Amino acid sequence: MLPFLHFGPLTLPTFGLMLWLAAVAGAIVVDRAFHRARINADAVSMVAFAVVAGILGAKLWHVLDTPSDFRALGWRVLWDSAGFAWYGGLTFGIAALVYQGWRAKIGILRTLDLAAPAAAIGYGIGRVGCFLSGDGCYGIATNLPFPWGMSFPHGIEPTLPGVRVYPTPLYELIAGLLIGWWLWRRGGKPHATGVILGHYLILTGLARFLVEFIRRNPKILLGLSNAQLASVGAMIAGAALVAWASSQPVETEPPLDLPVETEEKNA
């Protein structure tokens, strides 16, 4: 594991580096989505604002979900390199995008549709930071050989000597990239507004629900963790959104090589 990179007197946490790369990747994907949808808006600023809001939400959700960390560290937990809750980041990030989409007059659901592939890809890349830092987001112990079972002896939260655990951040990386790729392809085809967001909630909720079975998070209700209960809620919301969108008209965008003025004259 490699929690920190050292360049002379400069120490760079790999988690922060991967978070930055995730934000860059997300900005690129959203910018391309705006371009494909013929939307003239500042995707980079929107993603940057959403990332900051997501980080704040992830830390606050972690404090609420794990009050023992707050009792041990106090307010230092808010800028500690470990302890980020995905659903907190998702909730605050969506709220930031909703506000910006409304302010830019893009439309709330349309903005979230366009940002959904970037959210999945950015999340997957961000999980590489958890893997490199060994911040405790890995899974339960396993006897499976490498690479299905790994040790994190030098992580921020090291595993016990000789104990292998599931490298769940890598599983989430793969899931995030696959979901993002599928959503991107789906977004390039005619679809009703809201359906891409609905699929995002279903697929990411399902991925998180499944991976939680091999993670170390405590079970709080019906043998499920807090993240799994939130995943069920996300999947239900996503299914409801897809069902609603299926009753709405399908929107098609004009080809990028056809000027909007020409299309309007021909109408």
Mean of all residue pLDDT scores within the chain: 84
Supply the pLDDT for residue 256: 46
Distance (Å, whole) CA 4 – CA 123? 20
Query: Per-residue pLDDT tens for 179-211?
Result: 999 999 999 999 999 999 999 999 999 999 999
Name the DSSP class of 141: B
Supply the pLDDT for residue 112: 93
Categorize the per-residue pLDDT at 261 as very low, low, confident or very high, splitting at 50, 70 and 90.
Answer: very low
Query: Per-residue pLDDT tens for 104-158?
Result: 899 999 999 999 999 999 999 989 988 888 887 889 999 999 889 999 888 888 8
The three state secondary structure string of 183-214 is HHHHHCCCECCCHHHHHHHHHHHHHHHHHHHH
* 156: Cα within 13 Å, side-chain hemisphere: 19
Supply the pLDDT for residue 9: 84
Residues 6+ apart with CB under 8 A from 181: 117, 121
For residue 71, pLDDT over 90 is answered with no
Distance (Å, whole) CA 140 – CA 149? 10
Query: Per-residue pLDDT tens for 11-33?
Result: 888 887 888 899 899 999 999 99
User: Which own/partner pairs from 152-161 qualify as long-range (CB within 8 Å, at least 24 positions apart)?
Assistant: 152/1, 153/1, 154/1, 154/3, 155/1, 155/3, 156/3, 156/81, 156/82, 157/82, 158/134, 159/134
The percent of residues in the chain predicted with pLDDT above 70, rounded, is 84
pTM of the predicted structure, to 2 decimals: 0.82
Q: What's the average model confidence in pLDDT over 236-241? A: 97
10: which strand partners? 7
Distance (Å, whole) CA 98 – CA 84? 22
For residue 75, pLDDT over 60 is answered with no
Distance (Å, whole) CA 56 – CA 70? 15
How far lies 215's CA from each of 142, 147, 165, 177, 210, in Å? 11, 16, 9, 20, 10
Query: Is-cis flag, bond preceding 67, omega within 30?
Result: no
Supply the pLDDT for residue 259: 42
Positive or negative CA dihedral for 42, 43, 48, 54? positive
